[in-house]
C-alpha cells in the first residue's frame, strides 16, 4: 500500500505553502489576534479557490477529497494562518450534502464571499 502523496496532492501542498509564505506571517498573525481572522489571508485563500475546494464540482467547487482538505489544513496550521479554513470546509461539505448545487447560500460559501 502506497501512502505517499500523489502528484496532485504535492502540487496542492506546494500551492498552499507558497500562499502562506506570501500572505501569512508572524506580523499578520499578531495583527489578526483581536478579530480572529485576517481578511487579507482569507482573500489569498479565495484567490487559490480554497473555500470551495471540498464542494462538489456541480456546486462550483473543486471536488477535493477529505485528504486534500486535511493537507491544506495542515499547511495552514503550520503557518498559524488566522483564517477559518477548517470550519468553512466542514460547513461547505455538510451543506453541499443538504442543499441543491444552485443554492445561493452554497454558492456564496463556495466562492468565499460568505464565511
Question: Could you tell me where the DSSP H helices lie in the chain?
Answer: 7-23, 26-31, 39-48, 66-78, 85-98, 104-111
Is 2 among the domain residues? no
Read off the pLDDT of residues 7-61 as tens digits, 9 standing for 90 and up.
999 999 999 999 999 999 888 888 888 888 999 999 999 999 999 999 999 999 9
* Model confidence, pTM: 0.91
pLDDT digits (tens, 9 = 90+) for 54-108: 999 999 999 999 999 999 999 999 999 999 999 999 999 999 999 999 999 999 9
Question: Which range marks the domain in which residue 16 is found?
Answer: 7-111
Q: Is residue 76 part of a domain?
A: yes
**Residue 56 falls inside a structural domain:** yes
Residue where the block lists cell 495552514? 76
Give the CATH number, domain containing residue 89. Answer: 1.10.540.10
Amino acid at each position: 500500500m502506497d501512502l505517499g502523496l500523489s502528484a496532485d496532492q504535492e502540487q496542492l501542498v506546494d500551492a498552499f505553502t507558497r500562499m502562506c509564505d506570501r500572505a501569512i506571517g508572524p506580523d499578520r498573525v499578531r495583527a489578526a489576534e483581536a478579530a480572529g481572522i485576517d481578511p487579507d489571508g482569507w482573500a489569498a485563500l479565495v484567490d487559490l479557490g480554497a473555500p470551495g475546494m471540498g464542494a462538489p464540482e456541480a456546486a462550483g467547487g473543486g471536488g477535493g477529497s477529505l485528504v486534500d482538505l486535511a493537507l491544506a489544513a495542515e499547511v495552514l496550521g503550520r503557518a498559524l494562518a488566522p483564517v477559518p479554513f477548517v470550519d468553512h470546509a466542514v460547513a461547505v461539505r455538510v451543506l453541499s450534502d443538504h442543499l441543491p448545487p444552485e443554492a445561493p447560500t452554497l454558492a456564496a460559501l463556495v466562492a468565499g464571499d460568505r464565511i
